[in-house]
Every structure is written in structure tokens, then in C-alpha cells.
A and B are shown apart, each in its own frame.
Chain A
Amino acid sequence: TQLLEQSPQFLSIQEGENLTVYCNSSSVFSSLQWYRQEPGEGPVLLVTVVTGGEVKKLKRLTFQFGDARKDSSLHITAAQPGDTGLYLCAGAKAGGTSYGKLTFGQGTILTVHP
């Protein structure tokens, strides 16, 4: 079973602070996706990282894929109340004929207070 351990589970911070969310596994993934989900809605893709060591930036969000493609991190700089939500990492099956089945982490509930 390919498991993704996501931490922390809960994060409550003040506006302007920085934060990092981690996603770790003992398994190799062909890609790692990060999603953000708001209450009552489905997850929305933020980014996909594919190459080991890859770093992608999306405004104040920085995503990194580990060199061995077993872990990833999401760093948010100067968090804003609009960043509040559930952040999910999801790994795609590596090897063989990959059909896009995703294994999700448990999620990080982020609350940014004004």
C-alpha cells in the first residue's frame, strides 16, 4: 500500500506568517499533486510536480518534490486569510501502466487569522 503522511494536520497562524506543509512516503510516486479544498466544494488542483528535485512557484506558494520522488513540501510566504482551507497532497502510482489513481494524504486544515 502506498501511503502519504501529511503534516501538520492542523495549522492556525496569523496573517503575514510563513508556513510549510509536508507530505512524506516510503514509496516512489511518478508525480505529486497538491490540491486546495474549500468547505462544500471539491478539491482544486494547485500544482503537479513530476521531476525529482523540482521546484514550482505559484505567487506566494512554493512547491518542492524530493529528489527521490518520495516526499514533497508546500511553503506559503506571508499567509493571508484567503489562504484558509484544506490542503491535500496526492501521489500518482509509479511504475507499470499508470492510470492516474491518486493516493491522498490526510490533509492539512489551514486557518489564517486577520
Chain B
Amino acid sequence: EAQVTQNPRYLITVTGKKLTVTCSQNMNHEYMSWYRQDPGLGLRQIYYSMNVEVTDKGDVPEGYKVSRKEKRNFPLILESPSPNQTSLYFCASSLQASGGAASTDTQYFGPGTRLTVL
């Protein structure tokens, strides 16, 4: 089954304790992205990756890191989490990263990771 998986689905942690949220897709997609969802703000992009070893900042990258060592995986790293990073996080992927500025590819979303930082 074609899917985007995220782990963990739920996480409660404390300020400053490094954590990683994993994301994996089995569709051989080039493009992957992380979003955070906050009430009243919709989804905002954190980081994205056009292909292996190619990553770039989205709208709200502060406090986050990513890596893309393999095509299928795109982990999100919080080196020193803070309470304002409490949010619902979604990983997404789409087939191709090439092309013009306007994206027409369908993005496939993972089920989400609900993170609470105390």
C-alpha cells in the first residue's frame, strides 16, 4: 500500500531534550516536506527536500533540522525543543520536484505526530 508513515504518532517530552520524528514514504517520491499545524493557522511548511541531500527552509524553520540521506526517509530533528514547538506535525511527499514554481503534483500526507513539549 502506498503510504507515508510517521513515528511516533504521539510524543510528550520536556524542554531541551533532543528528539527525532521519522518520516518514510514507499512511493519513490522525490519531494518530501514537513508541516506543522496550529489552530487557526492552517499548515505551515517547516522544511522541504527536492531530492537526496537537497533540503531547504520553508516558512517556519527556526528550531528544526532535517536530513535526506535516503530517498524514502526525511526525519525531522528538534535539537532543543521548546514549548512553542508543541504542535501537530505532518510529513508529506510528492512524485517530482522538477518543474516550475507552481506545484501541480498531489502531495500525500502522513497521519501526523502530535508533539507536546513541557
The answer to whether A and B assemble together is no
Interface residues of A, Cβ cutoff 8 Å to B: none
